[in-house]
Chain A
Amino acid sequence: MSIIELNNVSFDYQSGEDLSRGVKNINLKIEKGKFIVLLGHNGSGKSTLAKLLNGFLIPDEGDVIVNGIHTKDTKRIYDIRAKVGMVFQNPDNQMVASIIEDDLAFGPENLGVPREEIQKRVDWALEAVNMNEYRYGTPYKLSGGQKQRIAIAAILAMLPEILILDESTAMLDPKGRAEVMETAKRLNRDNNMTVILITHYMDEAIDADEVIVLNDGEIAIQGTPKEVFRETEIIKEAGLELPVSTQVALLLQKAGHPVPLVLHDEELVEAVCRLK
């Protein structure tokens, strides 16, 4: 059974008379333990889709079913929220306490988790993002990547089954981005965490199990990275930019060289070395 299921989901934002398209006709099944990357340009509906998954938004049409629970079921909304953890863009705006362990405890406290259990969860969550030594510190001196890892740990302390990172790498420097990506991949690999990573950087999608491209609120294409990256027209139309190595490979193909479609830089190097 899929951990998340969306059947024909549509959602529009209504402000007064005006309607603005959020997402339209989304059909999606997300399997447990998968690493999913959701791609799309600004305003393509990525955040709207994410907010539909944890019940921040309720679909106008269609159903969102998480772990067998309907997001329309308002009585169980917090069961869903605790299961579908969401991390946002700016780590500074997600921390509520000035001491890191207090911040991590906030989620479990809200859920009424007993004290001893919170202690264990804080230990585990800090370990999971490799930030143990900062437990009693404040967030102010941390780098962007470290802060975002704390924000992830704060969500992990609620023991979610699905982790949604909504452009959580967008405002970080390359080092911070790499740290967050590495953390997300490790959680997926070692803890069997289902990860939905939202981004507009295509190079963050190359190791995904599945890539979904949104354009104007609709799914433009969906599949493995190789399947998706090959569709250059659709990618272009969706306002995205292929990773440099893929672009180079495509240019080489155009020039008549027998180079396969590559995603990683190393693959490109290998393919080019094999040319002669």
Chain B
Amino acid sequence: MNRDITFGQYYPADSFVHKMDPRVKLILVVAFIVAVFLVKSLFSYIAITIFVIVGILGSHVPIKSILKSVRGIIFVVLLTAILNVFFYSGGERVLVHWWKITITVESLLFALRMALRLIFLVLGTTLLTLTTTPMNLTDGMESLMAPLKLIRFPIHDVAIIMSIALRFIPILMEEVNKIMLAQKARGADFESGGLMKRARALLPVLIPLFVSAFRRADELALALDARCYNATPHRTKYKVLKLGWRDAAGAFYSALLIFAVVAINASFWGLFGFSLSV
């Protein structure tokens, strides 16, 4: 269980996507998100679908684990889709007209497109977290933020904070479990009653948790000093991220996707998807 929390969603495997540099993956995910917002026509949706499928195949992550993340947002997707259908204004081909509500073909298509976008967003980001450990992601972010050093932004401290947070999440979770068990043994009841009652029942958990967290923080602060934290501004880095051929290939492939999406949107192919374009 601890391992699960530390590694977040990470699915250990030895795949092409796993071996890519976390920095490249981060950039690609951002590019992917932009691409998802650019898609308009049927063909660009097809292009993006192919991209996602190739990504999933290249990650060796079972399709089930990936779909699990989609299942988590299915409610949000349906809700936005329904709202979109009802509140979409415009559109000519009316399907249903009842009282103040009008459902047109265009509104249905619009809702479908938005739903697909949301699903793509989740698929893309999930693929990142499934194939990259949180530690690698932090390293990647630290490295990408390097230019901020110029404006004296303390990236290094931020990276240490992230690392320590990752390190202590499982420890504090375990502590919450222990405290809850101890309070239950004393007759505390966390499950019944209304929202207020349950919130109040958590107070005897939160207070010891905070006390313990501060005590830990005290010792951790000493330990950081004992390890000569801030001894020199010329800190070295043990883990260096290296770009490889996979990163070049992945970047090239993604550039191709964005190019395709933009080109399809702009070309008559986009018009071809007449009934699907905005």
Say yes or no: B238 contacts A93, CB within 8 Å: no
Within 8 Å of chain B (Cβ to Cβ): is A158? yes
Within 8 Å of chain A (Cβ to Cβ): is B226? yes
Interface of B is mostly: helix
Can you name the residue of chain A whose Cβ is closest to the Cβ of B234? A112
Digitize B200-228: 1 where CB-to-A-CB distance is under 8 Å, 0 elsewhere: 00000000000000001001101111111
Can you name the residue of chain B whose Cβ is closest to the Cβ of A78? B231
Given A111-B231, A115-B240, CB of A94 within 8 Å of CB of B163: no
Say yes or no: B6 contacts A109, CB within 8 Å: no
Within 8 A of B (CB), among A140-167: 140-141, 154-155, 158
Residues on B with beta carbons closer than 8 Å to the beta carbon of A85: 226
Say yes or no: A90 contacts B219, CB within 8 Å: yes
Say yes or no: B227 contacts A110, CB within 8 Å: yes
Within 8 Å of chain B (Cβ to Cβ): is A26? no
Which of B135, B224, B229 makes the CB contact (< 8 A) with A102?
A: B135
Which size class do B's interface residues fall under? 20 to 34
Pick out which of these stretches binds chain A: B71-79, B165-173, B249-257.
B165-173
The answer for the CA separation of A181 and B166 in the assembled complex, in Å, is 30
Say yes or no: A109 contacts B164, CB within 8 Å: no
Which of B164, B225, B228, B238 makes the CB contact (< 8 A) with A158?
A: B228
Can you name the residue of chain B whose Cβ is closest to the Cβ of A97? B163
Within 8 Å of chain B (Cβ to Cβ): is A108? yes
Say yes or no: B2 contacts A97, CB within 8 Å: no
Taking the closest CB of chain A, its distance from the CB of B37, in whole angstroms, is 34
Residues on A with beta carbons closer than 8 Å to the beta carbon of B237: 109, 115
Residues on A with beta carbons closer than 8 Å to the beta carbon of B234: 112
Can you name the residue of chain B whose Cβ is closest to the Cβ of A89? B219
Say yes or no: B228 contacts A111, CB within 8 Å: yes
The answer for the CA separation of A41 and B74 in the assembled complex, in Å, is 60
B residues touching A (Cβ–Cβ < 8 Å)?
2-3, 6, 134-135, 160, 163-164, 166-167, 170-171, 216, 219-220, 222-232, 234-240
